[in-house]
Structures are given as C-alpha cells and as structure tokens.
Chains A and B, each alone.
Chain A
Amino acid sequence: MPAVSKGDGMRGLAVFISDIRNCKSKEAEIKRINKELANIRSKFKGDKALDGYSKKKYVCKLLFIFLLGHDIDFGHMEAVNLLSSNKYTEKQIGYLFISVLVNSNSDLIRLINNGIKNDLASRNPTHMNLSLHCIANVGSREMAEAFAADIPRILVAGDTMDSVKQSAALCLLRLNRTSPDLVPMGEWTARVVHLLNDQHLGVVTSATSLITTLAQKSPDDFKTSVSLAIARLSRIVTSASIDLQDYTYYFVAAPWLSVKLLRLLQCYPPPEDGALRGRLTECLETILNKAQEPPKSKKVQHSNAKNAVLFEAIALIIHHDSEPTLLVRACNQLGQFLQHRETNLRYLALESMCTLASSEFSHEAVKTHIETVINALKTERDVSVRQRAVDLLYAMCDRSNAKQIVAEMLSYLETADYSIREEIVLKVAVLAEKYAVDYTWYVDTILNLIRVAGDQVSEEVWYRVIQIVINRDDVQGYAAKTVFEALQAPACHENLVKVGGYILGEFGNLIAGDSRSSPLVQFKLLHSKFHLCSVPTRALLLSAYIKFINLFPEVKATIQEVLRSDSQLRNADVELQQRAVEYLRLSTIASTDILATVLEEMPPFPERESSILAKLKRRKGPGNQPGAEEARQERERERERERSLNGSAEHREGGAAASAKSSPSVDVLSVAALPTNRPRPVSSVSLMQTPFLASCAAPSSLSAGPMTSLYPSADLLGPTGSPPSTGGSLLVDVFSDSLQAGPAPLDLAPPNTAVSEDNFSRFICKNNGVLFENQLLQIGLKSEYRQNLGRIYVFFGNKTSNQFLDFSSTVNCPDLLKTKLNVHTKPADPTIDAGAQLQQILNIECLEDFTPAPVLDIQFRYGGTLQNFGVKLPVMLNKFFQPTEMEAQDFFQRWKQLGAPQQEVQKIFKAKHPMDTEVTKAKIMGFGTALLDGVDPNPTNFVGAGVIHTKNTQVGCLLRLEPNTQAQMYRLTLRTSRDTVSQRLSDLLSEQF
C-alpha cells in the first residue's frame, strides 16, 4: 500500500494548481496568481473565522505560489495559528510554512517560540519532532536563546524516543553553528559522546554529525569520542552485513555512519594508544581490502556506497599521513580509479590525489600517474573532471616535472573552457616562477601565457614578470630581446604591449647594439601599437618614451615630435595630456645629468612572495590548498606579509617625502606599491600622499625642478595607478583589484557589527583617502572643512560582481557626542551595482569641543547574507582648526597667557616613524595649525598655532614639538584655553609621529 494515499488532497488546491498549469502564457499565470492572492487575503482578513481545513488549504496554496517564485508577504499569522493547533495535520502545515517562509529576522518568532515551547513540553514524539525540525530549519538566534538549554536535556534523557533523540542531536548541531555562544556544552559533553554507543544506528549517525562539529571547535573536550568511534567503526566494518539489518544499503553495512565516523576521526591525529591505533589500521586495511573484492551486486548503488566509505577511509589515511604502507595502498587504489570507466570515480580520485600529493610518503607515488592525469586533461569530456586534473597537476608539480607540466597546461590552455582559464593562467604563472631554474624559461612561459590567454592574464601576473626581470640582471637582456620579438607579431595582446613597453623602457639599451633592434626601430615598434591601446597602456608607453629619451639621445627629436603632436598635447584624456606636456617639457629643459638621475633605471624590488599565489588562494576555497606543507608555509608567509605590509605602509608614509628629496630617480613606471597580494592599502596611501608630498617637497628641492611636478602623475603611471586611472580621481583604484577576481570570497567581510577603525588615525592629518576596505566594499572619503562646518563625500565602491541590495549607511553618534556634533546625512541609494560606486554626502557642524568619533553604520545584502558593520568616521576636533600666522613676539606673549597648569598638556613619546623634518612639517600643517618659522630659537623644533572653531566658542591653540633624533623621541606641548581641548589634541597628534 502506498504510504501516501493520493486521494487525500484538497480539492481547491488541486483545482488552483491545474488552473496555473493550464495557463497559456506567463501573463495569464500571473493574473491567475494575483487573483488567488487577493482571494486568500480577503479570506484571511474577513470577519468569518476560518476553519482549520480552509486555513490549511490557503497556506498550501501560498506555498505553491511561493515555489513559483512569487513573494509571499502574508499568511504568517495563520501559519502560526495552525502550528498551535492540536490537530496534527494543521500543526504540520503550519510548521512547514514557517520553516520555508520565515527568515530569522521575523517578528513572529516570539509567537512561534511559544508554539514550539508547548510542543517540546508535550512529550508527544511527533509533536516534539515537528518543533525540533522547525528550530533546526529556522535556526535563528531568538530560538537559540529560547531553547538552547532544553535541547541537550531532551537529547540525553533516558526516556526520549530514538527518533526524537535523532532530531534533538541535529537541532543542537544547528544551533551550535548559528549561535555557538548560546550553546555551552560543558556538562553534557560526556553524555553526548556516549551516544556513540547507542543501540539505534540512526541516533549514532546524528550524534556523530553533532560530535564532529563540536570536536572541530573544541577537540580536547571530545577526545574520548575517538576510541568510541573506532570501536563502532570496527564493529560495522567487520560485521557480516546482515547484522545491521535495515542499515545495510545494497550489501554495504551502514555506509553513511561509516562515512561520518571516518570524518569524525579526521578531527584528530592518529591515536597514541598502540592497541587503538592497531584496531583503526585494521579497519582501514579491511576497507581497502574490500575494494579489491568482487562486487556483491552489479547495481551502481552498491559500488557507490562501498566507494563512499573507501574515499573517506583514504581521506583519513591522508589526514593521518603517518603509515607509509597505507598511504601507498591508498595511492594505488586512487590510481586504479583514475582509469575507472565511471566518471564520478575518476573525479573523486583526482580530487583525493591532490591532497595525497602533499604527503612526503606518497608524493613520489602520485607522480607516477602523471601521464594518466595529462591524458585526462586532454580526453575527459567533462569540464569538472578536467578542472580536477589541472588541480592535481598543480599539486604534483615539483622541480623534476615542472617543465613538462607547465608545457601541458599551456597547451591545454589553448582549448580550455572559458570558465577555468583564468585559474589555469594563475597556476601556470605560479609554477613557472616557483620552479624556474633558468629565468629565460620563465620569461618565455609568461609571454606564452599572454599570447595564448591574454585576456585572462591579470595585473598580478604581468606585474610579477616585470618585478622579476628588474630584480635579476642575468635575464634582462634576454627579456628585452624576447619582448622585442614578440611585439613583432601583427596582432599582440595589450598585456604584451604593457610588458614590452616597460621592459624596453628599462632595458631597451641592452639590445640596441643590434641594428635590427636599434633605438629607432624599438620606438617605432612600440609606437605602432600605441593607437590600438587603452588609456592606461598609452600612459605607460608615454613613460617608456621619456625613458627612451634618456637612454638614446639619438631618438629624442623623434619622440619629442610625437609628444608634441596634437593627439598627445591636446588629448582629451587629462592623464595622457598631462604626461605628454610634462615629459615634453622635461626633455626640453632638463640637462642630460638631470634626465639621467630622474629617469634612472628602476631599483630592484624588495623580495616578496608572489602576489599571484595570493590571488590564486583567494579564488579557491580552503579545500583546494596545494598541500599541507605548503599551506603551512603559506600561513607563515601570510603573517609575515601582513607584518611587512603594515610596516611598509607606514614606512612609505614616513619616508615618502624623504625619498622625494634624497632619491632622485623618479619611479616613473612605479610598480613599487603594487607587488604583494593586497596592494590596496599601500597604494591608497601613496595615492593620497602625492599632493601633499608635492607641495612639501617643492621648496626644498628646487633644483629638481620639473621632477616635483611629475610626482602627482608618477604614481598614477605605474601599474598601481590601475586601469581606470582617469584623471586624478581619488578613488581610481576602487575596481582594479576586484573585477578580475570574480566572485569575491566572503571570508574577509566582517559579518558582525564590529566597528572598524583601522584607518581612522591616518585621517588625523589628512582629509582624503581610503577609510575602509574588505573583499566586498571599499569606502573612500573626500572631506573639506571651513571653520565649524564640514562636508564629507563618502564613496562606497562595490568590488564584487554582484549587486548589493538593501544598502543603507547611517551615521551614529554616541550619546556623549549628540550635543556636540550635528551630522546630517542624505540617505543613500538602496542598491549598488556590481563594480559601481555610490556617493553619499555628510554635512557636519561642530557645536562644542568633543572627543568620541561618530560611527558610520553600513548594512547591505550580498549573496544572501546580511553584511553589517560600523566604520569610525574620521571627524576629529582638529578638523575645525583655522591656522593662525603670528610673529615670535605674539606667540610667546600668548604662550605665557595660557600658563595655567590645566591648560597645558605635555607628552613625551617614542618616534614610530622615521624622523623626517619635511614629513613632520607636513603633518603639523595637515593637522590644521599654521607652521610658524623662526619662532623657536632651536631650528629643529616645530611650532604651530591655530584656532578651533565650534558653533559656540573659539579655542586658540599653540603647540610645540621637540624632536630628539638621538633618542628617537619627541616632546609635544600643547596649550589651549580649555583643558579638554589640550588633552584631545595631544592624544590625536602624538599618534602621528
């Protein structure tokens, strides 16, 4: 007898569904649905109380309409009524509706919780199960709060029915996932572990899932589960399959439970206890042996179930990575599967072998399969399988087979599916660099990559080849020759033009001796590509031209001619025009000596780890790491990188002005700021730095003349300046990183409402820049202040390839601040398109002096998850400074007037940045005060004065900063008429040096 009798339907529902199915067009369907929605709405709102049957019918209809993709915004109340009913069928549909249609934010949760509470307490197993299902499916925080305490009790109670125990275990697991803080295990731990001994295999299966998740979080608490799991596994594996009756699936004993137990064991290292270890090894051997036995059934279910256990056993062997014999057996088994006629097995074998390749015991064994894998790459019909083959080749690559593997990948790339090309490009680039003994091979490989898959070659890849060429002088001549030859092709990719332009600009002289590649020929070759290229590439080429003028005086006239042409000097693009004008001028007025210094060859880049690797990592989930060892190293490097990144950012900030003076080589083609994985923070600093830098460098280095005016563009011209470097826009780099990155992984996005203040202090002395950035979003600011008023333009850049929905950004002032600062916000658009930027304007009025900063609360939906976080807005008291110029006499007079002890705040602190006079001056001016020369008798000291404007008062401020270069210390003294102001300003400013 069928378990569902087909006659039990609801007639109204059946008729409605048939109506919909009979609709001839989409419009007709929508019309019919709207009619039904109106009908249901009126029924629900009507005066007549509906009976359970009708409610159930209407709720079912709503579910059906929802399935068809229409929003349902009512009916929840009726569903809650249904689930509170005593009738099972009504309860059931009520719960179903709620679990399908209520999201965790619903206000109804309280009512629902009430119903659940009653059912949990009912001791009726079916009702309890329904309520547990609902908790597990909705899994909201409110539910966790309400029931986290009850569920463990139900789970371990002696008189709970098996089916309820099963549900309770999974329910607890779900709550632990969604709100771990609310589900403390503590007292229940031991009893939960003992569920592994339960009679009922269904209970054991659920409990194993639960324990696995808990053990991942706190392995020590659940250590005892290892022995129980091994015992259980051993009983299953060695049993004659009939022992387990219903849990035998196509002649395989309890396959799901075995898989789960093997997963649980992967949370732990191999057991130390010898006997236990022996027993586990025995289990694993038995599983491997069974794979060689003839199948007990020809059905695919049998082999699937058997192999599910086998693959999990192999995963455990690889995880333990301690028994060489088992590892080799595992490898052989996978080798067999590589040639299996069943595609699923080939796929899984390739995937498992990837992890096996990183084990020292089996790396060599994996390598023996290289021909099979290469063959898979060529012959598999399924792109998913080919992709796994690429992954495996990447994982098994080492010095001995790198050339072969890179060559195979390159040749596969010519025909590879579009969807995986970019990843292959990254992999080839990483391997080529990692295993390059001979760098000419590396250069050839990358140029080949550009030729074969130019569109997929991202910035990281071609930046990297330039870095390497610059750093290794043994390959420079070869690189110049090779790019020169490659550029001869009638149609070459723009990325090749970029690399070619850069390399010839730097090292064209190395091949200029040959008449076939004389300077003029080189220049003409490059210039023949010029008109086909985009603006950033043209900008780069212009820089290459000015470098040519330095390298080869004989082509100066030709190049000047080109620069002088209307298409350059009057180019509509401001960046190109500026370069043309400046370079032309530079080439005309500067002496050869100056040209030579300004356009000197680029210094080597600091050795850093490849940014490509980082990019590759970002693309791939954690499951796809090349190997354990490598993963570990990578983590190490990651940490290092973070350190160096922070360091270098600061270093730049501090040293930028210094370098303007001391190292005259203009980094015309600067790649300096880009190299590592997350170039943004660095580059954003340098972008912001430029105007301020140019201004402060100007007086001190007059001799450099045009050089300083070059500076604003210098950074933009480098690859850092990023593709959309149109004009000097502050946020030019908003998109560059993300567009090719594809779907941004979510891991870096702060999911909770944490308030970020990372960049806060950088804004103390400046008004523009990048305030916040993660994988999804970049927030840039431009601000201007006049007296007690300010205006901030906030730019939100969507770095992903998906739309942000329900976007909102509001300013939140702490209570203390509300009476002191008025912030007026214009509401922002609720959506930001992929790659687009949204601007919001904040108007600010300072009423009184203040200390805390307002917080920008940002909320939006990306890929279904709600992102919510705060960013501290850099609105500080010193923004309302107006500088005051005064003579020494005035200064000292006022200084004395502000002599009361509470008016002065003094602070002595260690220098955090290099002590550079120009930088310090710029910072004091950036802070808002006037910098007074000739006031302090000691010329190394700095003195400043200004007035803070608030709506109610004005506060005059005097400051003095005394550096002690020997001790690397500063003494900062501030005097103002108000003690709170002195204190706040001292806190703000002392952080800057």
Chain B
Amino acid sequence: MINAILIFNNHGKPRLIRFYQYFAEELQQQIIRETFHLVSKRDDNVCNFLEGGSLIGGSDYKLIYRHYATLYFVFCVDSSESELGILDLIQVFVETLDKCFENVCELDLIFHMDKVHYILQEVVMGGMVLETNMNEIVAQVELQNRMEKSEGGLSAAPARAVSAVKNMNLPEMPRNINIGDLNIKVPSLSPF
C-alpha cells in the first residue's frame, strides 16, 4: 500500500501532499520536512529507494522517489509494493501530467493544484494503484474537462488570469520539468 505521496521542490516547498493513512496536520508537515531532508541529501545517481524516516514508520516502509529538474516525487510504500513498479508508476504519473499540461512545470502544479489532485486520483486511490494505462488516465481527465466546460458558468471566469500571472515577474521562476525527451528528463537515470 502507498501511505503517502509527497511532491516538493528542491527547497523542500511542498507542491502536493496526499496521505492515505491518517496523520495529524502538524505531523504531516514534519513528515514532509523529514522526507525532504532524507531525499535531498542524496546524490542524483544513487538508487531510488531508501528506508522510510522514523515518523512515517521506519524500516517497514520504503521511500521510492524520482527527482525531475526542480521537483521531487516521493512515494512512501509498505513492503507489499514492488519497488520498480512504483518507480514506473511515478513515471506514468509524471508523463500523464506532462500530457495534460503540455510540458508540465512546477508552476502548473502550483496554480492547478486541484487538477493535479484529480489526475492523481485517477492513478492512485485510497493508497492502491487504480490505473496504470496512460491512455485510460488521460481519457478520464479529458472527460472531466469536457464536463467542466459544459458547466461553463464557472470556468468562464477570467480565462486569461493564469497566463497573465505566469508572465508576471515572479521570484525563482522554476525551470520546466522538461519532459520532452524521456531519456533526458530523468536526469538520475540518464547515463546510458
């Protein structure tokens, strides 16, 4: 079972958190900090698995993570999951994000947190892998989108707002996750 999914950037700022096991809010934040601490000090070409931090349950749990440009995607899982399977699941999730957002970048995650949640929900449900077929996932997301469009009223709210915001002069504008070519976009795994 997947106990938690954490996405944070290179500075440890959370971009999406999802817990499938109850933790009090404060503890959730501590877990994020602990996980960031554990993951961020690792070199890019070491392995993608490590034992869970003490807060989340220690060595009975594994942290499986990938580092894409500015973002870390970390899944905390118990021993019933296949490590490589989860590693690929992260890849599927990111590729799906990339398809849905067209060249996804950190800003997309920030400004469309709800959408990212919805996409994640199509992949993982209650801590279990729901769907692994990217086409199916994207189809579901498109379906949602069409329904949203048809309810026009609310999404008709200023459509240019975000693009305007995106071009505002923001501090630390993150780079693209750069998912264009799969071989390059996984920097930790590129030395082939």
Contacts and interface: CB of A to CB of B under 8 A. Distances in A.
B111 A17 contact: yes
Contact of B171 (A21, A256, A865): A21
A801 B55 CA distance: 10
A745 B58 contact: yes
Contacts of A96: 114, 117-118, 121
A863 B57 CA distance: 8
A301 B140 contact: no
A9 B161 contact: yes
B154 A620 contact: no
A137 B126 contact: yes
B85 to A, nearest CB: 5
A309 B26 CA distance: 38
B88 A304 contact: yes
A186 interface: no
B132 A247 contact: yes
A206 to B, nearest CB: 7
A311 B50 CA distance: 17
A621 B147 contact: no
A4 B115 contact: yes
Contact of A166 (B102, B131, B151): B131
Given A8-B148, A133-B126, A384-B50, A249 B159 contact: no
Contacts of B140: 163
Interface residues of B, number: 98
Interface stretch (A167-175, A654-662, A686-694): A167-175
Interface string B36-80: 000000110111111100110111100000000000000000011
B2 to A, nearest CB: 11
A256 B18 CA distance: 22
Contacts of A5: 145
Contact of B130 (A53, A135, A206, A308): A206
B139 to A, nearest CB: 9
B147 A304 contact: no
A249 B136 CA distance: 13
A52 B152 CA distance: 12
Contacts of B170: 18, 21-22
A7 interface: yes
Interface string A274-308: 00000000000000000000000011110011011
Interface string A233-253: 000000000000011010000
B100 A3 contact: yes
B24 A89 contact: no
Which bracket fits the contact residues of A? 35 or more
Contact of B85 (A87, A246, A308, A620): A308
A53 B51 CA distance: 43
Contact of A861 (B24, B45, B121): B24
Given A11-B157, A301-B91, A69 B14 contact: yes
A789 interface: no
Interface of B: 1, 14-18, 20-27, 29, 32, 42-43, 45-51, 54-55, 57-60, 79-80, 82-85, 87-89, 91-92, 99-102, 108, 110-115, 117-119, 121, 125-136, 138, 140-145, 147-148, 151, 153-155, 157-163, 165, 168, 170-171, 182-183, 186, 189, 192
Interface of A: 2-11, 13-15, 17-18, 21-22, 52-53, 56, 60, 63-64, 66-69, 71-72, 87-90, 92-93, 96, 100, 103-104, 126, 132-133, 135-137, 139, 163, 166-167, 170-171, 173-174, 177, 201-202, 205-206, 209, 212, 246-247, 249, 255-256, 259, 263, 298-301, 304-305, 307-308, 311-312, 343-344, 346-348, 381-382, 384-385, 387, 619-624, 742-743, 745-746, 801-802, 805, 861, 863-865
Given A8-B159, A18-B168, A174-B127, 17 more contacts: A3-B100, A4-B141, A6-B101, A67-B14, A69-B32, A92-B114, A136-B125, A137-B20, A167-B125, A174-B128, A205-B131, A206-B130, A255-B85, A308-B83, A311-B84, A384-B51, A745-B60
